[in-house]
Structure 1
């Protein structure tokens, strides 16, 4: 199904305390069935990027310890929010919070659809296998993740969204990218970092 709104790419600058040699963008859009589609793009000399080994598309904690794409979603005006992690290796994670870093009951989320591709491919329809994850010397890597409507918080007046990436360099160092950095140290959970507002679409 087509998206109600395009996922316009927004820059993900690196936190001032962390640096890498890449450029990153991300976007979010409603899907026609009320879910969300997140799109992430990392460009540069990808020989300097370390990607996790291909893995089953299962729920797994600790994805942020390696290259990982993240989305934080909250209803406007509500303290509760949800966190989604997408690994380019295929694994994923989802968490619910009642307030800033206050874990709520486990979120019974269904598995998101994750697609990974190199930028020189015509679309993002790869199966996440070795070819899609190699990326050496290529211009860009793209990850698209679709989250079902029943995994999202009630939208009411729209959603505040934070988009971020953890980038692991070939030497193992991590850099942290986000729409907005609000603290001296990287912290994707800070509500002021949920810098993208997505209004409700005109669903029939």
Structure 2
């Protein structure tokens, strides 16, 4: 697991850590996992059924940014415990945003315990740009009382900005054969 860091201007209340990693990648699916420790006060958006939605980042949401190596363009994947999702393409940093067509919906599952939460997502590879990628794992975590913390591999400015290319520090190789 790769440790994410909260933005210092938005510390969590009870969340102790957020980790993320790729748990599988083949020609069909990219599978990612986020693990939250100290999740007793985690706000979980209510189940809404699968489907695209806007504004998922306004509460607990998990995001993955994929940028083909040596490209300015990148893809943002937003995944909610409500099972809502969206995928956007950008031609440059916060420029040219457009919904990305997906051949099928991502599959998301949240398992919530008393202190730990695990969020798993399976994203259809056929809907993603060609790998290898520079990658940014991020999360917006809302806790009871409205406290929001913003988690990323790196924070490059005084305000949370997951679109900052400095956040795309992990790498993901091309998929393996099934």
Matched, 1:26 2:20: yes
Within the candidate set 27, 34, 53, 2:46 is matched to: 53
2:143 equivalent in structure 1: 169
Query: Offset at 1:45?
Result: 4.5
Secondary structure in 2 matching 1:192: helix
Contact in 1 for aligned 2:86/2:99 (Cα 8 Å) = no
Alpha-carbon displacement from aligned partner over 1:6-37 (angstroms, at most 9, x marks no partner)? xxx11111001011121110012442325311
Query: Offset at 1:51?
Result: 1.5
Matched, 1:179 2:173: no
Within 1, Cα distance between the matches of 2:49 and 2:36?
22
Within 2, Cα distance between the matches of 1:102 and 1:190?
12
Contact in 2 for aligned 1:35/1:152 (Cα 8 Å) = no
Equivalence map 1:1-204=2 (5 Å): 9-20=1-12, 21-22=14-15, 23-46=17-40, 48-109=41-102, 110-118=104-112, 135=113, 138-155=114-131, 158-203=132-177
- The structure richer in strand per residue is 2
Range that drifts further, 67-76 or 22-31: 22-31
Contact in 2 for aligned 1:29/1:198 (Cα 8 Å) = no
Within 2, Cα distance between the matches of 1:13 and 1:168?
15
Larger Rg over CA atoms: 1
Q: How many pairs does the alignment contain? A: 175
TM-score w.r.t. the length of structure 2 is 0.92
Contact in 2 for aligned 1:164/1:177 (Cα 8 Å) = yes
Secondary structure in 1 matching 2:52: coil
TM-score w.r.t. the length of structure 1 is 0.80
Query: Offset at 1:96?
Result: 0.6
Over 2 Å off, 4+ runs: 29-35, 103-106, 199-204
Within 2, Cα distance between the matches of 1:34 and 1:58?
20
Secondary structure in 2 matching 1:185: coil
Unpaired runs of at least 5, structure 1: 1-8, 119-134
